[in-house]
Structure 1
């Protein structure tokens, strides 16, 4: 991993809610069926978080993604899930599968270097660094991949076989590692092969597993086939090096944030149904408290532009309740009545950047005399704050100097490092007592352990911040931890807890045997379920295989961090599917300032409307670039008599109306009034639009004026009442916090830049463009790209006007992606 280079971050599972904010993602974890941080449902310490059936409604849990750039250093995959046999009521035996599959990734966390005023790097000491490890536990077994051959496989497995992945024809087998050598044969598309050493762009062909070669190839004495094939036209099918054991990669294999880790595996407890689940954990074996101290000192010298966190303080700010009259022309005022904020909360910049346009107001007061100009930014924030009594409050928040403060993530604002040294028996006794599961005698026998756990640092810190004791009984239960996670300010507090604790993946038989007396059915009678559970814990453990390798300590101790909150802190912005270079390629005349203004909206809606592959992005950008250059505008209907007849009349009737010549080439029908009542429509946009668009696409007749009201707007002209109705429905479905009515107020499409951009994505979705593009492209050969672009242009433009320019734009963008 490169030093002094910031690493990228991603969520292990993307949200199913396109416009969810990062604090909402944390509160969704309260829905997990178990396995919170820093304590699990059973009351024992828990170093990670679970994504299971309870969270599946909120996250797309089809595949697991790496949370940050790093190196894969170890993994394990079950050939088939091991099974525990729990005996509940003799002779009934419950067979419960449990995945032991995991991937361990090593990361280097380091603040950015200091720079001089001219942008050059400042000489001096290097930034402090912390080695982190992300763990993804309970992954799909090998049998699961075999049952689904098309399921994508992790790139860090060894590639055992390859499929010929050509567009249409087969793959040439050459005598040497060059396309200029003799062609020996041709492998059919879809053939499966194995390959040997790679030389340049070619690999040595070893064997054909399935499929044919024409003419047939004869193997040599070692069973290897002659010839070389182009490596880029082979699709790898990876397989694990070994099964049912920990594979340690001595050098580590690079992996990027959002790359595939694997897929959720099956896990079943003795008292529940089997479910797909993944345990995600983040920890460090370094001295985390020392690193944080150095990082805070370093952050004090970083520029203010890197302060991407806004802290709101309890009792300092207030929320102004939203009113219908609040808007850009009538913003809230600090003097307005409001509710005092009763909790501390840190708001990431990504949260306010992702708010809909209607939830952001900037108020600038110009300079007057000796008073300098000032700017106040207001954000409408819902479901984030509470008043001093804990009641949820919503409304407009102003960023105010001295009232709110800005912080760099490297300041670790609000974080607490606590070393939890309590034993498993102390925590379990405390938990059982909290759940009223101990007898009077057991309470007396384990009073010392209960009291010791009760005075532990995590419970002390939780009480300090009012996280515990919802029922005022002085005891913290897993139920109360779960309730705390539903509140953004308390979920954040738990996320800011860095805990020093022995890893649950470090197997030490004696510490688990200590629980035997506490869990036995009755004195002298062992708990068979617990005995089976201990066997499962041992099989799940992996720490000893990594001890003293890759920086993993031998004592099993580590500092654990809530993975979601760290991802929120360092995930600087949403993934950019569309870059400035792409935008300027699609519209070379676009100014830098305007491009910077539209890019966030393009990327926001590229995600929402799933225009997120190179082919779809290249088509979208090339078409919009040609249609409008990404300039949001309203259709110009102020035409001369001649021009309005050319555009909306019939081609052969320009010189005069002739009903017998009804062969409209440009417009779908004859419009005689453009000749008989020309004065009414010439240079009159409202009259012309009302007439030519009457009775079409949901518009009423000419007298309704719908044709003009719902004229074309946006960067792809959204035209007709039905389209504005659809825009309203689709926008409100995808933007639950920003309901708009584009039917009542169609001018929003041009008066608000974000809506003007979104309207093109809505049009794209209404016309099912993604599916049509994929169908067209798959049917076209490399030499027939023009036909593909023509297919798309016909839908967008109703014809192929400007086709050469559209093809040129598409080809230029295609070159950037290497489609």
Structure 2
């Protein structure tokens, strides 16, 4: 009888990576806190958790796809939840220019709204321009109009307002468009961003247009209008298997390895994909799209290339649509000598060179040196060959008993040669040990045979004295899964799992409203994709940390990428910057707890209501800024969603951004205003601040902690101390946090 996996069932264990460690947290006394679920790597680190994920099926996938596509064809158009936009489809990058104005309505007539759906970019209106003439026009559905527009309603419009005699988006203009989709994509029809009036249009024929972000044929991110159910852009269901590619890979493991190795040498002069096997070729074609064509940057089969698309949904979903039929690494034939032929075939690539050089150094066999030089394409008189000959002569003069104590019996020069020989021996033995490990981990054949027994018909004679289960399964029981006897399966890249993370938004519209109720929903819809993009990149996933993050940003900037104003009256600037703890006595024009910046009193007129002078003074000689005359204080004033302040902070943001975005190198020290001119950078700056900020949240803790760690369990007061450096706005920050706490099921403070 089959046991089905239910939600919550244990299906595997998290392992650990012995080559990587994660730093332990410390308690208030600075002592390291062990992570019970992980083995200890060292005093201050634990082994890093490691999860191996594979997605595959041994069923007849092509047949299954054909059957489900046939069923999908019966789905009503309105029930198809996605829009599939094929490669090479042309989009309209912008609407046509207006060709008229609204004009003046005749006599006392009103302008009527003809559009029955008013959540669109352009509204169709009807205006009587004379006693006998009625005109139909299109107008931009601007924010002020959208607030009052209703189907069959009336409008009052300026006579000189721009208008169109035809809908601004015309299918006839598509063929001449220069915006060509370079990577197929699938978008949700009810996506929040596409539901905004600025991104949706309905023309006179009732055709729906959507404004979507795409990668064009030069791998540049661009936006354009796509005609729903136009050429190459059809509504689809998940069972249509839109843009999936099936690859039956017939290459050997060695051929795949050689292709992967060859990819490491790709450059602007050697980047053609025609020479690669199907799986490697299609994978590289997708990975390459993370860089614009003009950069002439080409990827390879290595970890960094895959990490590069982790925050690019269009690319990691494209990679997940490759369905590859190949032999599992957990299966291998075993020959009469107990060896695995497909892995033995890699010997020549992984150890042949080391074996040849080692044999030459140990015995002086010239044939082994020649074999090595031939494999690496070096001449007999090359510097490398001469170097090995010199080392061989050195080794030939070793004392006969050197192996008893090499460090004592060999000279310094001889010991270097000995160390080189030992490294080669280690390289050879390491591969042999790896093959032994692989062999021990082969589970496919055992599981395949076990499942085959479960599938045996009732009353099948037992083998080798085994007993059989005579229990009659229920008639509706699902047969057990099977694994193919030859180890072949259909694989889907586990990067597809990223789609579930990316689509299951960490941050929602409701959260933004709770943290800043006075914000505009249309603006929130614009910034949500960026907030969730960086939440995924930087790992903002825990509910309490999200609540702290949003409540702090809500207070600091209201989610606007703005700059610090610093336009203060005399009393206000003294309260904020002149007195310890902000304790300013306006009646006495003095500080209750002591003065911080005396020039605010002695040179009041120079600083009050003068943002540049004030910033240069109050931010001088700290946070990486120069003195007052350097101008750094105003140059690096607060900007972005969490008010990044000080030269050090801008430099840190530059370094972190460039490390995570090698295809978008920026210098925020030289161009600090990018944090307010670009919504994306303004948002990212808040994440970088959050994930790199350290400090002491209270006097009881005598060591620095990371803000991102504190926010997972700390109080609003503690988090505020690290964000603000004090407790300014504490009550407001707490109110915002508590609204989010109620929404997220957290304890209120």
Q: Which has the higher strand share?
A: 1
Q: Which has the higher helix share?
A: 2
- What TM-score do you get using the length of structure 1 for normalisation? 0.44
Q: Greater CA radius of gyration, 1 or 2?
A: 2
